[in-house]
Amino acid sequence: MKNNEKHLAVVLLSLFILGCSSIRARTDTPPTDWTVYPGVRKDLKEMGEMISGQREEPIWVKSLVTAILIVDLPASAVLDTLATPYDLYRLYAPEP
């Protein structure tokens, strides 16, 4: 029974981590800068910053964050695709 609980905990933790760039991008973006696929854009931008050396973190942090972003990219693409109608609404009918 304990083995199943560990697997369940890993699966739940993985689900919470995946798609986090999509959520962060939607909460951090001001209404005037709204775009379509903001989570994918954020993943790619942060990966570019890590690879090009624009960030000052130690190499192990850059490696860990880049690995997380690579794992997050497909989930962000799916979440952004599902949220595209909302993004288009926000893009063409901005809040006052």
Assigned domain for 5 exists? no
Q: What is the DSSP string of 21-75?
A: HHHHHHHHS-GGG--SSHHHHHHHHHHHHHHHT-S-S-HHHHHHHHHHHHHHHHH
Predicted pLDDT of residue 13:
65
Out of 7-11, 14-18, 22-26, 47-51, pick the least confident: 14-18
Could you list the residue range(s) of the whole structural domain that residue 46 is in? 19-92
Predicted pLDDT of residue 25:
86
Assigned domain for 12 exists? no
Assigned domain for 7 exists? no
Does the pTM surpass 0.75? The reply is: no
Assigned domain for 67 exists? yes
Tokens of 58: 């130690």
Total structural domains within the chain: 1
Predicted pLDDT of residue 20:
78
Assigned domain for 23 exists? yes
Task: Give residue 15's pLDDT band: very low, low, confident or very high (50, 70, 90).
Answer: low
Predicted pLDDT of residue 18:
61
Assigned domain for 24 exists? yes
Assigned domain for 3 exists? no
